[in-house]
Amino acid sequence: MKIIILKSNLKAGLDAVGRSIGINANLPVLSTVLIRAENNQIKLSATNLELALTKTVFGKIIEEGGLAIPYAVLSNIVNNISTERVNLEAKAGNFMIKTDNYEASIQGIDRKEFPIIPPVEKRSERVEVEGSILKEALMKTVIAAEVSDLRPEISGALFLIEPSEVKIVATDSFRLAEATISGKQIKNTFEKGTQMTIPLKAAQELARVVEEKEKISFSANETQVLFESENLELVTRVIEGKFPDYQAIIPKEIETEVVVNRDDLINGLKLAGSFAGRNSEVLLKVKDRKILEISASDSNIGKNKYVVSAKVNGPDLEVAFNWQYLLDGVKNEPSKEVSLGINGEEKPTMIKSSETSPYFYILMPIKP
């Protein structure tokens, strides 16, 4: 293999696949990146056996071939060389890097030893969406997910696919987030509803590497999902087990709705959070049907409170939350105002920007 490539292109490829590098002392090949030059394309691939990511980058191919190279060493070199034009060559198991003022030889691993990335058959049933829309939906929902050994079926992001919409849902059993992509935002050839849950790591990586201006499509079989764009392929497994019927916990009625300026609420939570102590508990009090008081106290720190005006529909009340979890839901709504649908100390609270918002976040209060 012999190629000429710009440092910026090589760095972009390494950055894209870097977090899917595996760590396994018994399988050192998992800590490598496979570089292939074939069919007029330069592809960089990495895998941790659960997730496989391939990024296509631009460069000039002089001679086709491929080699797996230790990622950490190659990434360090690329981040620190100063010349933009880079010559790469694989020969007799070694990987040579040359610039105008630098050269190195790295011992590689035969591409045949690199784990095979099982292909996902490109089916007629697939969904296509703009990268920016998918990225936003994922970033808003994966904050509510957490890997659970006890409940592996919720250790990821659920994709609920219907002919007219796609919903992405995540939960850690204390909170839940749902984002809906619908209408003209998607091209969907699924004739009937289906669902799949992908691991949290895969969902996080997908949100990170998807480029906003590109179209990305995804299709699946019984065990794997393929997300692909013009320059990216991400293959991940489907989590076994059925995602819980989360619709049952969505509040059907709201006891007290509190509409408050989003920035004021964020500031109040951050201020109160400094006094929340180890339990991260803040208390929200609705007073006189027009005031929201946010407070926290800790015997080792002190106490504080922050008062903001609010539009209240319903009786006064007080309820405690994990301030960091509440902040996650509030800051994901870009609107000027945010609505808190509070249902007392034992029922979930719904957070959203308006009745027509394609996103909502549900959080359980902290019981006294």
Superfamily of domain 2-113: DNA Polymerase III, subunit A, domain 2 (3.10.150.10)
pTM > 0.95: yes or no: no
Quote the tokens at residue 290: 């027009």
Residue 165, strand partner residues:
162, 182
Q: What is the pLDDT along the chain (368 residues), one digit of tens a residue?
A: 999 999 999 999 999 999 999 887 788 999 999 999 999 999 999 999 999 999 999 999 999 999 999 999 999 999 999 999 999 999 999 999 999 999 999 999 999 999 988 777 766 789 999 999 999 999 999 999 999 888 999 999 999 999 899 999 999 999 999 999 998 899 998 888 899 999 999 999 999 999 999 999 998 888 899 999 999 999 999 999 999 999 999 999 999 999 999 999 999 999 999 999 888 999 999 999 899 999 999 988 999 999 999 999 999 999 999 999 999 999 987 889 999 999 999 999 999 987 678 999 999 999 87
Mention the CATH class of domain 127-247. Answer: alpha beta
Looking at the domain covering 250-363, what would its CATH class be? alpha beta
Could you give the CA distance from residue 281 to residue 290 in angstroms, rounded to a whole number?
23
Closest CA to 139 of 199, 204, 196, 233: 204
Tokens matching residue 158: 């659920």
The DSSP call for residue 255 is S
Q: Is 245 exposed, middle or buried, given 0-12, 13-18 or 19+ CB atoms closer than 10 A?
A: exposed
User: Does the fold of domain 127-247 match that of domain 2-113?
Assistant: yes
The domain limits of the chain are: 2-113, 127-247, 250-363
Would you state the pLDDT for residue 122?
Answer: 67
Which pLDDT value is given to residue 221? 85
The contacts of residue 337 (CB under 8 Å, 6+ apart) are: 259, 260, 261, 262, 353
